[in-house]
Amino acid sequence: MPALLCRSGQARFYLPLTQIERVYPMVHLPAARQGGPRVHLRGETLDVQDTRGWWGQPPAEPEATQRLIVVTRPRREAWWVDEVGPLADVPAGAPHAVLDGQVLPVVWHP
């Protein structure tokens, strides 16, 4: 199954393409209010999830080289990552995949 390699800080993980609606360049993120940052993309306001914290990486300021990935989960939201690509095939439903001898998590959501 095709998956996109993503990086947040020093952490890398795969996200299956079936869960990705679109990848955007980073946009201005307004100061976080109650509940975290939100972003307006293509006429819709989405919650932004900073994936750095999921992997124990320190917070960072938004930079033009970063990306927002609109994911389809039980609800649509934008995941903030530092870098994306390349694509790779991962076994369907597998919790991990190997890249250059390193075991990386595969993030699956129903």
- Rounded Cα distance between 78 and 67, Å, is 9
Contact between residue 49 and residue 79 where contact means Cβ atoms under 8 Å apart: yes
> What is the domain count for the chain?
1
Question: Which pLDDT tens digit goes with each residue over 37-55?
Answer: 888 888 888 999 999 999 9
Structural domain of 44: 2-91
CA 22 to chain centre: 11
Question: Which pLDDT tens digit goes with each residue over 2-42?
Answer: 999 999 999 999 999 999 999 999 988 766 666 678 888 88
pLDDT score recorded for residue 53: 92
> Residue 105 falls within a domain, yes or no?
no
pTM score: 0.89
CATH number at residue 16: 2.40.50.180
Predicted confidence (pLDDT) at residue 109 exceeds the cutoff of 80: no
Contact between residue 52 and residue 8 where contact means Cβ atoms under 8 Å apart: yes
What average pLDDT does the segment 71-77 reach?
A: 85
Contact between residue 71 and residue 22 where contact means Cβ atoms under 8 Å apart: no
